[in-house]
Chains A and B, each alone.
Chain A
Amino acid sequence: MIDIALKIALACVALAMLLNLWSLLKGPTAPDRILALDTMVINAIAFIMLFGIFADTTVFFEAALLMAMVGFVSTVAYTKFLLRGDIVE
């Protein structure tokens, strides 16, 4: 049962990431693209968790954790760049 659920969920996430790619390429504004990227990172986290269940291992947990932390940092940096040009001032 879980296997099937995982397959469905993985398919959803994969599809979601393709949609994100579409949004990313489409834009049209820079914030749109940043948003798409941010979403893609979150979907990637979902993927990692699903894969962890699938592979029966917690070994990838830190990867997800780090991605959560670090995806945020890039997003903030990109937006800060749009707002100010200078990300550290």
Chain B
Amino acid sequence: MSMEFLIATAIGALTWAGIYLSLRGRTFPVVLGVTMLSYAINLFLFAIGRLKVGAPPIFSEDAATYTDPLPQALVLTAIVISFGMSALVVVLSLRTFLETGTDQVDGEPDPAIDPLDGDREEWIARRNAHRIDMLGETRP
């Protein structure tokens, strides 16, 4: 196995997961998907400068070899930009959920579990019935 193979497959896997997640119907997985995609793309942009081990782009006269610095600069810029964008998406999806009571983005009406409609007790009961364990722990 070569490094190139590892990186290429890693990029492929990240892209796959990113695409799959971003095609889900709610904002959170979409945000996850977007995050995965930006990992993939950062690695990808980095990889197009070809891979080198132990040859960081710090100039010295006697450096026998160095890695292509330009893609790294591009990735840095891309990381920063995608960070800003992700932050915005996260906040936007939260904000939208707060405003509308739903985080569905598949264009279908949401069987909303919204505190703003109906009786509060009933809402709590419904919510608890629907809630899932976000920690992945089995409840005692």
Contact = CB atoms under 8 A, between A and B. Distances in A.
A touches B (Cβ under 8 A) = yes
Interface of A: 27-30, 33, 55, 57, 59, 82
Contact of B137 (A27, A55, A57, A59): A27
17 contacts: A27-B136, A27-B137, A28-B137, A28-B138, A29-B135, A29-B137, A30-B135, A30-B136, A30-B137, A33-B136, A55-B53, A55-B54, A57-B54, A57-B56, A59-B56, A59-B58, A82-B135
Nearest to B55: A55
Interface of B: 53-54, 56, 58, 135-138
A31 B136 CA distance: 11
A78 B69 CA distance: 35
**Majority secondary structure of chain B interface residues (helix, strand, loop or mixed):** loop
A27 B138 CA distance: 10
Contacts of B58: 59
**Majority secondary structure of chain A interface residues (helix, strand, loop or mixed):** loop
Contacts of B56: 57, 59
Contacts of A59: 56, 58
A36 to B, nearest CB: 13
B72 to A, nearest CB: 13
Contacts of A30: 135-137
A82 B137 CA distance: 12
A60 B138 CA distance: 41
Per CB-CB distance, the 4 closest pairs between chain A and chain B, nearest first, are A55-B54, A30-B135, A59-B56, A29-B137
A61 B138 CA distance: 41
Contacts of B54: 55, 57
Contacts of A82: 135
Nearest to B54: A55
A89 B35 CA distance: 26
Contacts of A33: 136
A69 B54 CA distance: 24
A28 B56 CA distance: 40
